[in-house]
Amino acid sequence: MPTSFTSPSSLVARILELLELQPGLRVLEIGAGTGYNAALMQEIVGEDGHVTTIDIQEDLVAQTIRLLRAAGYERIEVIAGDGFYG
């Protein structure tokens, strides 16, 4: 059984809308996935905001870091750990 999945873009857009993110906010995402959501959130919170994403799967975290850096998202913090602990 897979431990990670990709949400449809319409669902991601709705979730981001419901979060009511604003420039300058600090965001903690539990479940890094590909980093796509973190990148979208960083765009919304802007230069004055900060996004941290955490995932329990170390191999996934390594991949997410590579993908985000390749896309130019140097500021997003990607952590390998258990999101239960925040």
Q: What does the alpha-carbon distance between residue 75 and residue 27 come to, in Å, rounded to a whole number? A: 12
Instruction: Give residue 84's pLDDT.
Output: 84
Question: Phi then psi for 10, rounded to 5 degrees?
Answer: -65, -35
- Per-residue pLDDT tens listing for the chain (86 residues): 455 566 778 888 899 999 999 999 999 999 999 999 999 999 999 999 999 999 999 999 999 999 999 999 999 999 999 988 76
Q: What does the alpha-carbon distance between residue 83 and residue 86 come to, in Å, rounded to a whole number? A: 5
Domains of the chain: 23-85 (3.40.50.150)
Instruction: Give residue 53's pLDDT.
Output: 97
Q: Give CA angle at 13 (68, 43), nearest 5°.
A: 40
Q: What is the pTM of this model?
A: 0.86
How many CA atoms lie within 13 Å of 70's alpha carbon, on the beta-carbon side? Answer: 9
Instruction: Give residue 5's pLDDT.
Output: 60
Instruction: Give residue 59's pLDDT.
Output: 95
- Catalytic sites, residue numbers: 7
